[in-house]
Amino acid sequence: MSFPWAKEYKPSHPFMQWMDDRLPLPRLVYNSVGGGYPVPRNLNYFWNFGFLAALCLVLQIVTGIVMAMHYAANTQVAFDTVEQTVRDVNWGWMMRYAHANGASAFFVVIYVHIFRGFFYGSYKAPREMVWLLGVVIFLLMMATAFMGYVLPWGQMSFWGAKVITGLFGAIPFVGEPLQQWLLGGFAPDNAALNRFFSLHYLLPFVIVGVVILHIWALHIPGSSNPTGVEVKSESDTVPFYPYYVAKDGWAIGVFAILFCTALFFFPNALGHPDNYIPANPMSTPAHIVPEWYFWPFYAILRAFTQDFFFIPAKLMGVLAMFGAILVWFFLPWLDRSPVRSGSYRPLYKKFFFFGLIPAMAVLFYCGGAPAEEPYVMLSQIAALYYFAHFLIVIPIVSAIEKPDPLPFSITESVLGEDEAAKLAPAPSATVA
């Protein structure tokens, strides 16, 4: 579907006409990211991050395929093949650093993308499916990144694999056999390494598939925008091409500058030194932490230090860690506010900026810190707020809050007036 004023694809060249009659791929592209896709004119830079995320996915796939050309998934040699790649393969050092830092960049971009959604209510009707698919992508990314981190078979790889599969061991009754099944053994070894490699190669392509669905679902209602007011007329939109192609284009430049600065000058800043030590199943590193992008969830896992009634602390931690992401699936139904954008929600805005953001910051920080006080207590407070935010604050706030008046339309919010407004009934919150 699209807006009635969307431009129609008109093949100019006879070959394109021929193509359009047989496989209308150019038409699909035109209607998705070309002149045929009308987009709200008032998007701010937070809307660039979806495009950047797609770019990161391509970057990971390309550099990953290169790494796979030089890698061998065998515990005897895995570590050495990665070193060999860095030392002897032409540009191997660059490929490796690009892939490792690319994973970090991908998560930076995705976190901004997700928090854009939280603030601007992008998960609300009619875009629930876009949101749900997004959460699925995030889960797949976490699985992919986790398995990728195991491949170089350093100390953190090994102990990460052991600890994360250990989480499944917390599940009552089936836990232990499940863990053994996941690893194909009692501890991470060749069987685990090989299946992780196989899946690490596969999942990114599954992600590509889900990304296509995510964008498809988005193109049904079209993009939302910072006001949260739906598009009403042609003057509210501009065609994706050239407007947003140009905007995304220069944003890619900024992203590339930041990324290359990390890649060429601080390539190990986000990595952990212990992963330059080959895996040693007999000795756990003193301070084991996952990659930084898992820290908030790792902090939640470690925040549960006491058994809760009959539920062991270990199980509570695992439940909460998965729950912390699964709760996002329910967000469209937890938040009943008729207003989408946080900009027009005085109360929600306060909880977002003074509750959720600081809680996330604390969880990020504590997840990377040793399991000592005060970090455990801090993460307990932050995790408490995290769950309260989604499960208690959002439902209540959305029921009692009185939103600020909304602009009649995107055009009005941009230009201060909208011809169409004069003909239409007065704005009300429910129209949004």
Annotation marks residue 247 as catalytic: yes
Compute CA distances 35 → 29, 30, 217, whole Å. Answer: 9, 6, 19
The one-letter amino acid at 34? G
Among 135, 151, 263, 301, binds ligand HEM (CB under 6 A): 151
Least Å distance, CB 262 to ligand HEM, is 13
Question: Considering the rule CB under 6 A, would residue 145 count as an interface residue with ligand HEM?
Answer: yes
- Return d(Cα 203, Cα 138) in angstroms, integer: 12
Q: Please choose which of ligand HEM, other proteins, none residue 184 contacts, taking the beta carbon within 5 to 8 angstroms, the exact cut-off set by kind.
A: none
Residue placing its CB nearer to ligand HEM in the complex, 148 or 367: 148
Q: How far is CA 344 from the centre of its chain?
A: 25
Residue placing its CB nearer to other proteins in the complex, 165 or 291: 291
Residue placing its CB nearer to ligand HEM in the complex, 151 or 432: 151
Q: Please choose which of other proteins, ligand HEM, none residue 192 contacts, taking the beta carbon within 5 to 8 angstroms, the exact cut-off set by kind.
A: none
In sequence order, what are the residues at sequence separation of 6 or more whose Cβ sits closer than 8 angstroms to the Cβ of residue 344? 227, 228, 403, 404, 405, 406
Listed ranges 148-156, 224-232, 243-251, 351-359: which one lies at the site for ligand HEM (CB under 6 A): 148-156
Q: Would you state the structure tokens that stand for residue 390, as one six-digit string?
A: 């989604």
- Return d(Cα 213, Cα 219) in angstroms, integer: 10
Q: Please, are residues 91 and 188 in contact by the beta-carbon 8 Å criterion?
A: no
Q: Please choose which of other proteins, ligand HEM, none residue 103 contacts, taking the beta carbon within 5 to 8 angstroms, the exact cut-off set by kind.
A: ligand HEM
Question: Considering the rule CB under 6 A, would residue 279 count as an interface residue with ligand HEM?
Answer: no
Q: Which of 247, 398, 409, 412 is catalytic?
A: 247
Q: Which of 140, 143, 117 is nearest to 128 (CA)?
A: 117
Which residues ranging from 238 to 277 are in contact with ligand HEM (CB under 6 A)? 271
Q: Is 95 helix (H, G, I), strand (E, B) or coil?
A: helix
Least Å distance, CB 89 to ligand HEM, is 12
Annotation marks residue 162 as catalytic: no
Rounded to a whole number of angstroms, the CA Rg of the chain reads 24
Q: Please choose which of other proteins, ligand HEM, none residue 17 contacts, taking the beta carbon within 5 to 8 angstroms, the exact cut-off set by kind.
A: none
Least Å distance, CB 186 to ligand HEM, is 24
Neighbours of 67 (CB within 10 A): 24
Q: Is 191 helix (H, G, I), strand (E, B) or coil?
A: helix
Burial 250-284 (b: 16+ CB within 10 A, else e): ebeeebeeebeebbeeebeebbbebbeebbeeeee
Residues annotated catalytic, as ranges: 219, 223, 247-248, 291
- Judged by the rule CB under 6 A, the positions of this chain that interact with ligand HEM are 57, 60-61, 64-65, 67-68, 71, 82, 96, 99-100, 103, 106, 141, 144-145, 148-149, 151-152, 200-201, 204, 207, 271
